[in-house]
Amino acid sequence: MIAGLVGVGVGGAHRSWNEGSRSTESAAIPAAGVSRVEFQSHDQDETREYVRRHYGDHARVIRGTGKFLYRISAVAAGRVIVGRSERWLHQTLRAAVLHPTLFLSLQPGETISFGRRSHALQPDRAVFSAADHEYTRAGGGVENLVVRVESGLMERAIAARTRRRSRRWLAPSALIPMTAGRRAELLAIEAQVRAAAQSGGSWGPYGDLEGFEEAVAGWMADLVLDAAGVQSTSEVSLGRVVRLQRWLDAHLDQDITLDRLCAVAGVGPRSLQKALLAARGQTPHEFVTARRLTEARRRLAGAASPVRVSAVALDCGFQHLGRFAASYRAAFGESPVETVRAAERSWRAVPGNKRT
């Protein structure tokens, strides 16, 4: 995951990839506006904290035995980040990117789910994740090639390719077929940004940083338009979704019907579905379920003392415990009980903590 990460400043230092090392070595001066993003850890807790601090809240469940590794090597170029992430051991990640991001798995074996839609990722099939669209990724050790484009830049690239520019146009999360030509273009983008990060680096055929940013945003917009099209929305509609989410989070324990959601939002069912699909990539039912699962995870993982899973599920609005357990495992890669046990182990690991 590249979104939201912090890069090493121009003329600063970067971490080497020595085994278990945190050593630094002097960095060459790259082109203006370029910084490197480098992180490696064999420690699961350190990785979770790094991603949480630079990316945001997420859930990461790690399975298997053997050595753990999480590594990022990327270049931040203005409003674009291009690089690679690598991990060892099977992991299930529940998150949402802050800006439109393209992921290409360089080895098969990963799956990604948006709501009820699940897809197998392959080296010839990338996934475009729209900002704020929650997803679950699961798979074993894999390396990913990642491109992130700042949201405003991506919107402008899409608007330039549509006829009606008075509306806001958002790209949906979607699978992107990666032909040999597209893969070659992606690798050329990576090679160019890494060249710009070297001493005396330049932007080659792009001319300057702005030319590179606009070219990458346009390339990604073309991919999405070709594969999935775009969805129109407005500031009013996006604001309505934000207010609805605040209301929903305060009423999760109640019976929430489509009619009630429409009444709170002040729109009809079709308008509500369109607004949620554009802003979150979810139907109204998926939106409610996702918010309930997120709150249940927060309570189970953050409990300072043992809690009853059934009580948490009911408090979060789940009336059928079996369905709750199945949905929870599908979203987070472990059962609710396993989350409680992990929270208990973490609590006991803190010096001075003990049950009376």
Residue 29: its pLDDT value, please?
Answer: 56
Q: Are 136 and 113 in contact (CB under 8 A)?
A: yes
Shared domain check, 330 and 274: yes
In whole angstroms, give the CA distance from residue 59 to residue 68: 17
Give a yes or no: residue 1 inside a domain: no
Among 173, 207, 232, where does a domain finish?
A: 232
Shared domain check, 313 and 220: no
In whole angstroms, give the CA distance from residue 163 to residue 277: 21
Q: What are phi and psi of 198, to 5 degrees?
A: -85, 165
Residue 348: its pLDDT value, please?
Answer: 72
Give a yes or no: residue 2 inside a domain: no
Q: What's 311's domain CATH number?
A: 1.10.10.60
Question: What's at 253, amino acid-wise?
Answer: D
| CB-CB neighbours of 156 under 10 Å | 17
Tokens matching residue 188: 């050329």
Shared domain check, 260 and 205: no
Give a yes or no: residue 196 inside a domain: yes
Tokens matching residue 192: 């160019």
In whole angstroms, give the CA distance from residue 116 to residue 192: 37
Shared domain check, 316 and 202: no
The residue with tokens 């099939």 is: 125
Residue 258 belongs to domain spanning: 234-348
In whole angstroms, give the CA distance from residue 84 to residue 18: 17
Shared domain check, 190 and 295: no
Among 181, 201, 232, where does a domain finish?
A: 232
Q: Which of 143, 85, 140 is nearest to 111 (CA)?
A: 140
Q: Which of 55, 34, 52 is nearest to 44 (CA)?
A: 52
Per-residue CA distances from 84 to 75, 92, 126, 141, 198 (Å): 9, 18, 14, 13, 17
Q: What's 195's domain CATH number?
A: 2.60.120.10
Shared domain check, 316 and 197: no
Shared domain check, 219 and 193: yes
Q: Which of 274, 279, 247, 278 is nearest to 260 (CA)?
A: 247
**83 three-class SS:** strand
Q: For residues 20-50, b (16+ Cβ closer than 10 Å) or e, as one string?
A: eeeeeeebeebbebbbbbbbbbeeeeebbeb
Shared domain check, 152 and 91: yes
Give how many domains the chain has, as a whole number: 2
Shared domain check, 308 and 279: yes
Shared domain check, 253 and 120: no
Tokens matching residue 211: 């030319």
| Residues 6+ positions from 228 with CB-CB distance below 8 Å | 128, 171, 172, 174
Give a yes or no: residue 102 inside a domain: yes
Give a yes or no: residue 4 inside a domain: no
Give a yes or no: residue 84 inside a domain: yes
| CB-CB neighbours of 267 under 10 Å | 18
Among 217, 232, 247, where does a domain finish?
A: 232
Give a yes or no: residue 302 inside a domain: yes
Residue 24: its pLDDT value, please?
Answer: 32
Give a yes or no: residue 105 inside a domain: yes
Shared domain check, 340 and 228: no
Per-residue CA distances from 252 to 28, 79, 86, 247 (Å): 52, 37, 37, 9
In whole angstroms, give the CA distance from residue 231 to residue 172: 7
In the chain, which residues have pLDDT < 70?
1-31, 164-166, 304, 349-350, 352-356
Shared domain check, 320 and 286: yes
